[in-house]
Amino acid sequence: MSDPVVLSASEVSVSFRQRQGLFRPPQMIPAVRDVSFEVAQGEVFGIVGESGSGKSTMAKMILRLLRPDAGRLTLAGQPMATIAPYRFARLVQPVFQDPYSSLNPRRSLREIIEMPAAVAGDLAPAERQDRARELFTRVGLPMRLFEAYPNQISGGQRQRVAIARALMTRPRVLICDEPTSALDVSVQAQILDLFEELRAQFALTYVFISHNLAVVERIADRVGVMYRGQMVEQGPAQQIFGAPSHPYTRMLLASALPPQPGRPLPVINRDFDSAPAQP
């Protein structure tokens, strides 16, 4: 890779403790197992995979919302755990799926957007507000909504607010977990355009998690495929979508339903998996 690595995961694992009822001892459920990948500066790394395969858990570890049980995570060459909070806020920021619940309903849009800069602590209040204004316009929101509250705007507008908030500290990496999944397709197209523009303008790196394969194919340079806690395949987007090698990836791609009439439902063959788990 020619560009420097900005984010790396090396054999990262984490388990959750799951209670089994009152009298049985809790069981450890592995959610992410030995996952390794590198993301270069300016790259979009897409993560796809089945529900419950550990994608969001991986995102939480990158955001330090969850500590891995084993393995190493580094950000800008530094072990993740050793980065001071204010510096961390300037390196990485999240954009989550649900623009309804991820914004504090009691704060104005201006306050919401300024918040990460307060955590990073590097701007005077006046500068903070200037930057918030600039980003507000940049993500396509009309200034008349600057002092409005989350319940006064649409879902697409809320996701724009979440993106503006994430850009407030001028981070190098955005961790996007299903950022367009709660949006209508017409709004999704607008937000995807916005991601592309911002990437060029701010030299951003994205980790982009989505169930929507066509969206990931469109935005990602490289893609990792997760299945049952493991990253079973990773490579350039063209290779993953054009010539997938893992049977799970092939099954996943075969499951996409393009909006073209006259085709039967695809046949799903889970035979490659010798031990189908059904909780």
Partner 1 sequence: MTALLSLSGLTVDIPVAAGTLHALRGVTLDVREGEVFAIVGESGCGKSLTAAAILGLLPDSATLRAERMTWDSQDMTRMSRRQRMAMSGPQISAIFQDPLTALNPILSVGEQMTEGFLAHRLGSRSQARARAAELLEAVGVTPAERRMAQFPHELSGGLRQRVMIAMSLMCHPRLVVADEPTTALDVTTQVEILRLLQDRQKEAGLSLVLITHDLGVVAHIADRVAVMYAGEVVEQGSVAQVVGSPAHPYTRALLDCLPDLGQPERKLTPIPGVVPALTGDLTGCAFRNRCPHAHAACAGGIPWHRADTGQGYRCVLAPTSEEAA
Report H helices in the chain: 55-62, 85-91, 109-120, 125-138, 155-167, 185-202, 213-219, 237-242, 247-254
**For residues 5 and 192, which CB has a smaller minimum distance to partner 1 in the complex?**
192
Q: How far apart are CA 148 and CA 125, in angstroms?
A: 19
Task: Please state whether beta strands 205-209 and 44-49 pair in parallel, antiparallel, or not at all (unpaired).
Answer: parallel
Site for Mg ion in 16-75 (CB under 5 A): 56
Is 77 near partner 1 (CB under 8 A)?
no
Mark residues 134-173: x for contact with partner 1 by CB under 8 A, - for none. --------------------xxx-----------------
Smallest distance, Å, CB 9 to partner 1?
22
Q: Which does 263 bind (CB under 5 to 8 A by kind): Mg ion, partner 1, ligand ATP, none?
A: partner 1
Smallest distance, Å, CB 56 to partner 1?
13
Among 16, 86, 100, 272, indicate the residue that binds ligand ATP (CB under 6 A). 16
Is 57 near ligand ATP (CB under 6 A)?
yes
Residue 229, token pair as written in the block: 């806690």
**Site stretch for ligand ATP (CB under 6 A), options 53-61, 111-119, 132-140, 186-194:** 53-61
Q: How far apart are CA 132 and CA 143, in angstroms?
A: 11
**How are the residues of the chain apportioned to helix, strand and coil, as percentages rounded to the nearest 5?**
35, 25, 40
101 alpha carbon, distance to own chain's centre: 16
Instruction: Give the binding site for ligand ATP (CB under 6 A).
Output: 16, 18, 29, 31, 49, 51-57
